[in-house]
A and B are shown apart, each in its own frame.
Chain A
């Protein structure tokens, strides 16, 4: 029977580290392989979302409700939103174009790199899912026993069997 570690106490540090960067809570708790697997999953969604929709799909001002979920990814979500402000909304990365506005209303300019329709929808959804899944991952890091993925020292099936 493999050795198991039932030391499943609550560890808030795992949640904090897991929020700082996806999978870091598990890695710090001695479950490095599990942490890297979780990190890979969250980053596939996060980077996939940015690749599909551009940084415009993370916007803590215009898409505030989506951002509540996206913020589960941690500082990388805030960095993406900052990049959106600094590169796209400022006109630094691409020229701004004037949008049609109602008579009497102020002129509205948006970046020519702004995401629209399916690209923006899927990019936003990908990053949102990354945030929600990272919350699941960091909650798991708070209750998972440290070094519980360490290889068992017991005999494996077939080992030591007489021929």
Chain B
């Protein structure tokens, strides 16, 4: 309870653009979504022939980037946590 209250106070006291955002230390991995969205928006703005296709192209590229990052994370998890411990110690 006191932890939630402390988090709430930290958030309310946040000075946007001056202070780092509260909670980023715990939820940093979610930042891949706005990062992929911003990259897709700028890239597809100069890439698509017809701008009517821009929203769909942005959504598709964002999903592709996020899915690729998640795939790499799962692959590395399997490699480090599951496969490597199975190897003989020597």
A51 to B34, CA, bound (A): 12
Q: Given A33-B51, A118-B28, do A38 and B18 touch, yes or no (CB 8 Å)?
A: no
Q: Given A52-B31, A136-B46, do A113 and B39 touch, yes or no (CB 8 Å)?
A: no
Q: How many residues belonging to A are interface residues under a CB distance threshold of 8 Å?
A: 42
Q: Say whether B16 faces chain A, with CB atoms less than 8 Å apart.
A: yes
Chain B, interface SS category: helix
Q: Whose C-beta in chain A lies nearest to the C-beta of B40?
A: A41
Q: Say whether A21 faces chain B, with CB atoms less than 8 Å apart.
A: no
The reply to whether B15 and A45 form a contact with Cβ atoms under 8 Å apart is no
The reply to whether B43 and A133 form a contact with Cβ atoms under 8 Å apart is yes
- How far is the CB of B27 from the nearest CB of chain A, in Å? 9
A45 to B42, CA, bound (A): 9
Chain A, interface SS category: helix
The reply to whether A37 and B38 form a contact with Cβ atoms under 8 Å apart is no
Q: Whose C-beta in chain B lies nearest to the C-beta of A152?
A: B50
A113 interface neighbour in B19, B37, B54, Cβ under 8 Å: B19
* Neighbouring A residues of B24 by C-beta, 8 Å: 52, 118-119, 122
A-B complex: 10 closest residue pairs judged by Cβ atoms = A41-B42, A41-B41, A119-B20, A45-B38, A37-B45, A118-B28, A38-B45, A44-B38, A133-B42, A140-B46
